[in-house]
Amino acid sequence: MKAIVCVKQVPDTSGKVAVNPDGTLNRASMAAIINPDDKSALEAALQLKDNTGCEVVVVTMGPPPAEGMLRELLAMGADRAVLVSAREFGGSDTYATSQILAAAINKIGLESDDVVFCGRQAIDGDTAQVGPQIAEKLHLPQITYVAGVEKVEAGKVVCRRELEDGYMMIETATPCVLTCLKEMNEARYMSVSGIMECYAKPMEVFNYETLKDDPLIQIDTIGLKGSPTNIFKSFTPPQKGVGMMMEGADKATCAKLAGILAGKHII
C-alpha cells in the first residue's frame, strides 16, 4: 500500500500580494510556500503511514527549485519524492496539469490499495479542479472536500466529506483520489532527524522523456498548447460598498424591504 500525495508550491498570499502590470501574479517577489490544503493532505498520508506503515510518495510539478519544498516534505516524513519538471510542461492550466500529474502517477505505479491525496485547491488559483481531473483521467473514484479519513481497510476507504450545510460519510474502493481540506488536521513540523535524512531519501525527476510514452501525454494535451483556458482579463474586483441596514419589525419597514428586493428582482 502506498499514499501518493500531489503538492504544489504557491506564493504566500497571506502577506502582500504582488501583481504584475499585466494583472498576473508576480510570483518572483513573493515567498514560496507549500499550498496549505496540500500540506494537510500530506499530514493525512503521514497519519496513514503511522497507522499502517505504508509508503508515502510526494509529487509536484514545477521548476527545479521546487526540489527545496520536496526536501521539506521528506523531512516531515515522506519516503520519496518525484519532481515533474520540463520545459514542455510550462504554461499548463488545470486540464494540462492534471493530464501530466495523472501520467506521473501512472509512472509511479498505482496498486489496488493505493490512495492518491490532493489538496482541495491551491491558494493561487483557487480552482479546485486538478484533483478531480486527475481522478477522471485515471478512472478512479474520488471523494472531494475530505475533512477526515475515518477508516482505511483492505480495498476501501471511508471519509468524512464536509459540506457547507452538513457532512457526508462516504465509502469508496481503492485506488481512489481524495481532495483534502486544510482544516482536517494540523500538519506536523519537520523533525531534526528528518532534516538530516531528507537529502539521502530518493528524489526522481520526471521530465518529458520520462512521461512521453503515456497516452495522456500528447503535444496538444500538455503545456500552453494543451491548455484550453484563456485569460481575457485579470483585475482586482472593486470593493463592495457598505450594505443597507433597515431596522424595525413594523409593517411599513417590511413593505419597504419587500419593495427594494422586488425592485432588484430578488423576490
Partner 1 sequence: MDFVLSKEQQMARALFREFAENEVKPLAEEVDETERFPEETVEKMAKLGMLGIYFPKKYGGAGADVLTYAMCVEELSKVCGTTGVIVSAHTSLCCAPIYEHGTEEQKMKYLPKLCSGEWIGAFGLTEPNAGTDASGQQTTAVLEGDHYVLNGSKIFITNAGYAQVFVVFAMTDSCAGNHGISAFIVERDFPGFSVGKHEKKMGIKGSSTCELIMEDCIVPKENLLGQVGKGFKIAMQTLDGGRIGIASQALGLGEGAVDEAIAYTKERVQFGRRISQFQNTQFQLADMHTRMQAAQFLVYSAAMKKEAHVPYSMDAAMAKLFAAEAASDVTRRAVQLFGGYGYTREYPVERMMRDAKITEIYEGTSEVQRMVIASALGVK
Nearer to partner 1, 67 or 214 (CB): 67
Nearer to partner 1, 35 or 174 (CB): 35
Residue 77: is it exposed, middle or buried by C-beta count within 10 angstroms (0-12/13-18/19+)?
buried
Shortest spacing between CB 74 and partner 1, in angstroms = 10
Shortest spacing between CB 190 and partner 1, in angstroms = 5
Nearer to partner 1, 196 or 262 (CB): 196
Nearer to partner 1, 189 or 235 (CB): 189
Nearer to partner 1, 193 or 230 (CB): 193
DSSP string, 198-234: HTTS-EEEE-HHHHTTSTT--TTTSTTTT--------
Nearer to partner 1, 191 or 229 (CB): 191
Shortest spacing between CB 33 and partner 1, in angstroms = 11
Grid coordinates standing for 74? 521528506
Grid coordinates standing for 192? 531534526
DSSP string, 1-45: -EEEEEE-EEE-TTSPPPB-TTSSB-GGGS-EEE-HHHHHHHHHH
Shortest spacing between CB 76 and partner 1, in angstroms = 10
Grid coordinates standing for 101? 500529474
Shortest spacing between CB 141 and partner 1, in angstroms = 35
Site for partner 1, rule CB under 8 A = 71-72, 75, 189-196, 198-199
Nearer to partner 1, 158 or 203 (CB): 203
The rounded distance, in Å, linking the Cα atoms of 146 and 162 is: 6
Residue 115: which of 71, 155, 167 has the closest Cα?
A: 155
Shortest spacing between CB 68 and partner 1, in angstroms = 8
Residue 107: is it exposed, middle or buried by C-beta count within 10 angstroms (0-12/13-18/19+)?
middle
Owner of C-alpha cell 502590470: 21
The rounded distance, in Å, linking the Cα atoms of 159 and 28 is: 37
Shortest spacing between CB 65 and partner 1, in angstroms = 12
